């Protein structure tokens, strides 16, 4: 584990989640990215983190992703 909270030995080496989170396993992958289960280290709370690639490459995709982020924030 490095200072960014990344699991350097495996599939999360390029996930920048911050020092307070530890990625556990991939839950699923889709057209915009992947979702992993993670733990918030200070509280022990389980969370899901979605990593999205190339979100600003296409204006239509960018709008769809922004809509999804807004919906997820309301949950």
Closest CA to 42 of 18, 59, 68: 18
Q: What CATH code is carried by the domain that includes residue 61?
A: 3.30.200.20
3 inside domain = no
Expressed as residue numbers, the domain containing 43 is 21-74
* Residues whose CB falls within 8 Å of the CB of residue 46, separated by 6 or more in sequence, listed in order: 37, 38, 39, 40
28 inside domain = yes
7 inside domain = no
The residue with greater pLDDT, 34 or 11, is 34
31 inside domain = yes
Per-residue pLDDT tens over the stretch 29-64: 987 789 999 999 999 999 999 898 877 888 998 898
Percent of the chain exceeding pLDDT 70 equals 88
């Amino acid at each position: 584990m490095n200072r960014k909270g990344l699991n350097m030995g495996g599939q999360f080496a390029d996930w920048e989640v911050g020092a307070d989170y530890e990625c556990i396993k991939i839950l699923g992958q889709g057209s915009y990215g992947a979702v992993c289960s993670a733990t918030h280290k200070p509280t022990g709370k389980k969370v899901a983190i979605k990593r999205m690639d190339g979100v600003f490459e296409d204006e239509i995709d960018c709008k769809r992703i922004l809509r999804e982020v807004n919906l997820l924030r309301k949950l």
